[in-house]
Chain A
Amino acid sequence: MGFLLALKMAIASIISNKWRTFLTMLGVIIGVAAVIAATGFAMGSTASITSSIEDLGSNTLTVTLFNKGTNRDLSYNEFIAFTEENSKYIEAVSPTVTGNATIKYEAESYENSQIIGTNAAYELVKNSHVQDGRYILDLDLEFRQKIAVIGTAVVNNLFDSKDQALGAYIKIDGTPFKVVGILDEKEGGQEGSSDDAILIPLTTAQRMFSSAKINNFTILVSDSELVDETVVVLETFLTEFYGTDDSYRVFNLAMILDTLSEVTDTLALILGGIAVISLLVGGIGIMNIMLVSVTERTREIGIRKAIGAKRSSIMTQFIIEAVVVTGLGGIIGIIIGILSIQLLISKFVPPVIDTMWVFVSFGFSLVIGLVFGIFPALKAANLNPIEALRSE
């Protein structure tokens, strides 16, 4: 008996039992839909976290200095000298001194906690550019210029428009600063977000906050392949300088990415486990219904055998029926899974539909039908034709 004919027979029998078949499929449908939706959610959230980290730059290192257990202080110039010696590893370095102050423009005033004193390399290191005007220059550091590059949230808070802001003088804790540039908008211009920052020259900030100490350096590594080596070079230098490794910390964004991908892998494993269990439960349901169906159709099987069906023909018929049921369940599950990603999950994370998971879950549902169809099919194939004909 041909495969197509067996398929046709299976479909006919499924159609004649629509509701029962649907209920039988439900386990597989839910299992597959869950796999697609859950992996979509996991991958979508990973993608969004990864992309926001990559925005910061995956070959970025942060050095935090605590000055703990030492009385030596690392100055800006000393650190710059070190980075210039190691230009093979370090492409750019940007120090930051942060503080808060009251910002005023004419009658408007508010408290801002993100006054960042830095240098020209900040643009490259933080991947943060101006949309209008200019950036901080190293010359500004030399002359302790009172200029500011402001984020869009600051513009929104103090000014009517960007045109009005550019060239205006704002007062930072009473000192007038000329606005020379406006930063690209990153987080919708929300107050308190990274758009609420004010960049001023490092030296100006040191004087303003009356502290020469720099607590943070952000380093751009020349090549992502060299990140690990750069960490070693940095740690060697700092340990030697301070005489201890307690007074600093080198922080690696690539490490966060690694941790994140471990978390995602674990998540995928758990999801996979849940999916396998729900598909197995679905499979047992299918086996159960197929056994009922074999019992109900004992007479049919007897008739088929009497007029010449071989054991293998009966076997094929029932296995194909089981596989068609689970395969159909798999397809419906995939459709529901994709719809739930597009309509629901996409509201929270970027929608990701991984074709690999679509194929894996479809393949798995076919395998479930095959595995759980074998026992009922064997039972049908081994029926004694005379007893089968006598049944009912």
Chain B
Amino acid sequence: MGHIKLTNVTKSFGAVDVLHDINLEIKDGEFIVFVGPSGCGKSTLLRMIAGLEKPTGGELAIDGKVVNTVPAADRGLAMVFQSYALYPHMSVRQNLAFGLENTKMPKAEIAERIAEAARMLEIEPYLDRRPGQLSGGQRQRVAIGRAIVRRPVAFLLDEPLSNLDAELRGSTRAELAALHARLSATMIYVTHDQVEAMTLADRIVVLRAGRIEQVGTPLELYNRPANRFVAGFIGSPHMNFLEGTVEAVPSQKAIATLAGGHRLELPVGADIETGSRVTLGVRPQHIALGAGDNSIRAKVRLVEALGSETVLHADVAGQKVLVVAPGQHDLLPGADIDLSLSAAPIHLFNERGLRLERAV
């Protein structure tokens, strides 16, 4: 069981408010990822769930029981730390056993659990080594193993892959996904790597400056970002933002003028007024090269040919636009080109940065 519920949770360190009014419900067995820029409070939120920090206000419940004052040890959770926090003076086996010994578990069962976890994580050959004698990847597995043997109701992982090199990170990510499928325990995972977030998460929680910006499945966030921040944060490279003004609102659409005079036709609902300022959001992958219905003229600034795709840095009347075009294109900086948005899902954000729901 690993049902976790946060109601109006706040946290301050002295006079500094780090988390504001967090409401979140995590279902049993769910893989939840917290993302957000550095310093937004991801770790603090996770540590609060763990019991390592006390909430300043609000209510935190695990499996329906309020645990605000329950110490970390008694919440039945396990945590994997960014630095792994393996006990340097104990062998891998002792590291795994330490938490179990503290629960007065019989020796035989401890041995059994360690053997099982070691098999699962393929760390059997290192059981009698010290953490200092292991590579980064091996240490990472031990850290996960230390959590697994505890059979916790939920796993808390704080950037567990950030100390690994790119290749290892990729493979470990896949293993983590497999592990979650196998254990089907609740996992709460903190990262600022959005690839990890997108690939691992059942649901993603986007945090900014101590507030939840949006909660949803990876594709929900990608397709229907609640606001400019989420739209810019999810997806790589970042979404292009173009400033414009609404000129007319015929039925089911809006005509917007961009700085530089381009007129674009946008499909939106009725709750938009003529003359209001809006921001258009278009993902770089959704812009096509060549003229079309909804097209804009741009000047190429830089061409990055990656082989399978070409990344164009272009300039539309002073606003930067990034285009990722599949295949190889023979373009030179300084060239004028047409970019077509006719097939692109265009997101519209109002002046407060909130996304205007598309009507269609």
Bound together: no
Interface residues of chain B, those whose CB is within 8 Å of chain A, are none
